[in-house]
Amino acid sequence: MAVLNNAQEEQIREIGTHLQKLRQQQSISIEEVAAKTCIRLRMLKALEEGKLDDLPEPIYIQGFIRRYGDFLGLDGNALAKTFSTDYPPVEFDAQAILGNTTKKLEAEIFEPNMVEEPSEPPEIDTPASPPPAKTIPPYLAYITLGVAALIALIYAIKKAPTLESAAQKQQPVTQSVSASPVTSTPNSIESTSISQSPTVSPN
């Protein structure tokens, strides 16, 4: 609920009526205005009908008038400036609000308090509270993970076979063996094959 003075109430009624007539002349529904200006439908109806209880503070009302005027093709800033956002002066009776507190304050100023205040607070034996738990900052966990990943990467690179050692493992080892050529005679082959085969004697 806005706190408005009489001049502001009259301004809202005039501006709201003017905006409503202009909107109806252009055959625009109030729902369309609400959708295009992003002003709640309830606020637009309250502005057009001059329902002051449903309107917010004057500075917001001025913004609604500006957006509504711009939407209808008017100079929204000029229209909004016709509505005053000054707050009405607040009248109050200080004596009614404060009551007799001023007399009490005067009495305390001129009559000092005679109650003696203890010079030192009494010592109370309290067990020492445990130190607050230390928490690990989140960035420290990321740093630790990064260092661990770096160490694992270095280890994997060192253990990986190098190109030279891999090439050596793939080539078969060839040793030069010197051997004299074997010459065989057919007789010697037959004699060896006969001697190795089982002998069967005919009866």
**In this predicted structure, what is the pLDDT of residue 201?**
57
Number of domains the chain is built from:
1
In a domain, 197, yes or no: no
Residue 63's CATH number: 1.10.260.40
**In this predicted structure, what is the pLDDT of residue 147?**
95
For residues 122 and 99, give the distance between their C-alpha atoms in angstroms, rounded to a whole number. Answer: 38
Q: Which has the higher per-residue pLDDT, 138 or 35?
A: 35
**In this predicted structure, what is the pLDDT of residue 7?**
79
In a domain, 106, yes or no: no
Band of residue 125 on the pLDDT scale cut at 50, 70, 90: low
Residue 89 has pLDDT above 60, yes or no: no
Helices (H), ranges, the chain: 6-25, 30-37, 41-49, 58-71, 76-81, 94-98, 101-110, 138-159, 163-170, 186-196
In a domain, 124, yes or no: no
Q: Print the domain residue range for 35.
A: 6-81
Torsion of CA 164, 167, 172, 176, to 10 degrees: -40
pTM: 0.43
Handedness of CA 115, 119, 122, 128 (dihedral sign): positive
Q: Which has the higher per-residue pLDDT, 144 or 52?
A: 144
In a domain, 49, yes or no: yes
In a domain, 107, yes or no: no
In a domain, 87, yes or no: no
| 151-187 pLDDT, tens digit each | 999 998 888 766 666 666 666 656 565 656 666 555 5
For residues 160 and 145, give the distance between their C-alpha atoms in angstroms, rounded to a whole number. Answer: 22
**In this predicted structure, what is the pLDDT of residue 152?**
93
